[in-house]
Structure 1
Amino acid sequence: MLKVGITGGIGSGKSIVCRVFALLGIPVYDSDFRAKWVMQHDPVLRENLIQTFGEKVYDTAGLLNRSYLAAVVFNEPEKLRLLNSLVHPRVREDFLNWSANQTQAPYILKEAALMYESNAHKQVQKIITVSAPLNMRIERVQQRDTHRQQTDIEAIIAKQLPEEERLQRADFVLYNDGQQLVIPQVVAIHKKLLTLSTQ
């Protein structure tokens, strides 16, 4: 089966684009959502997280304490790398299990903000990058995540791959810049991927 990655910086509009693909009948694996699910439900990962970051990683109800974990790793590059080294392999395995069940689809999408940083690009054959101007991305995130300060958003962007590099490495670029309509671009890429999936 053809596996296609979809990526883009924070605020680029990946989720909206994925919803359009889903309406076309294409299964979408949301790496961010599944990572949270795996951290909550994978017993091996749970044990590793507790041993590495302490009992507070999960609250008294056994739920992942995301705010605690974020506070521990956000400004500590070494601890963030350690967290990713524990989580990313389990998410890769989860994706393999998920994709094995998508037998009816012509191709599948894996959505990941950190497509290259997490080595998720090695699990797909083609990559779509969703692109939008930086100021527009920051504005979108401020509207969506009212709790975030602009400095927080800029810190997240600084941890992501530069836009120029994402564009250079993409097989398809979809512009979500307010100038070009998204749906016709999705349909055009969808048609090309359908052709590729039969080759």
Structure 2
Amino acid sequence: MKVGITGGIGSGKSTVCRLFAQKGVAVYDSDAEAKRLMTSSEALRAGIVARFGAESYRGGELNRAWLADRVFRDDAARADLNALVHPAVMADFAAWAERQSGDYVILESAILFDAGLEGCVDRTVAVLAPLELRIERTCRRDGCDAEAVRRRIAAQLDDDALCARADFTLVNILEEELEPNVALLDRRFRHEAQHAGH
């Protein structure tokens, strides 16, 4: 069984995924894997260079800041980049999931619904947190200013949309309150996976 975990920037998806990982669940971090594939996959590199130009790579490495600057200002450019990256990530996730043991695996993706990736998983979980807390967490983590974080949040689905589309929601304010809720979902997913097809 495959479970997709999503949530806006600063909501604490990574914290939730770490708690699941502590219970022995394999987690695929689609953001980290996308970065890896954008450098390691020949086909993906060729597609990015064809669309955005040779400037996309410097000394064999992805020119991340330059590319991010292009796609965050231009919705069409962002859509084009996503159309190149998402199929590569989903194929990689499917192959990775086949190699895992355990009752279920987790796909961690900030843009699960935006990118239409919910079709690749059996259950979805949205991680939510109050806006000001999300801004504070992101500023602390990335060393950026609140205005930059607000812009990034504005480009993502809001909590109402996430709630409407996700099978389950987790509110992440305090980790000690989060842990028992993750434990409940873990038991539920294991039960579902073990009884699937019976």
TM band (smaller chain): over 0.9
Cα shift readout 1:6-64 (whole Å, capped 9, x = no counterpart): 0111101110111111111100000100100110111001011111111111112x011
Letter of the 1:192 counterpart: R
Question: Who is 2:105 aligned against?
Answer: 108
Question: Who is 1:72 aligned against?
Answer: 70
Letter of the 2:99 counterpart: N
TM-score (structure 1 length as normaliser): 0.95
Matched, 1:133 2:122: no
How big is the shift at 1:182?
A: 1.2
Q: How many residues align?
A: 195
Matched, 1:120 2:131: no
Counting only pairs closer than 5 Å after superposition, residues 153-192 of structure 1 correspond to structure 2 as 153-178=149-174, 181-192=177-188
Letter of the 2:71 counterpart: V
Cα shift readout 1:92-117 (whole Å, capped 9, x = no counterpart): 11111111111x21000000000111
Question: Who is 2:8 aligned against?
Answer: 9
Letter of the 2:126 counterpart: T
Cα shift readout 1:44-94 (whole Å, capped 9, x = no counterpart): 01011111111111112x011101111121111111111111111111111
Counting only pairs closer than 5 Å after superposition, residues 84-99 of structure 1 correspond to structure 2 as 84-99=82-97
Q: Distance in 1 between matches of 2:133 and 2:57?
A: 36
Q: Distance in 2 between matches of 1:169 and 1:117?
A: 11
Cα shift readout 1:145-182 (whole Å, capped 9, x = no counterpart): 11x22221111111111111101222221111239611
Runs of 4+ in 1 over 4 A off after TM superposition: none
**In structure 1, the residue corresponding to 2:189 is in which secondary structure?**
helix
Question: Who is 2:34 aligned against?
Answer: 35
Query: Which structure has greater helix proportion?
Result: 2
Letter of the 1:198 counterpart: Q
**In structure 1, the residue corresponding to 2:62 is in which secondary structure?**
coil
Letter of the 2:121 counterpart: V
Letter of the 2:2 counterpart: K
Q: Distance in 2 between matches of 1:26 and 1:114?
A: 21
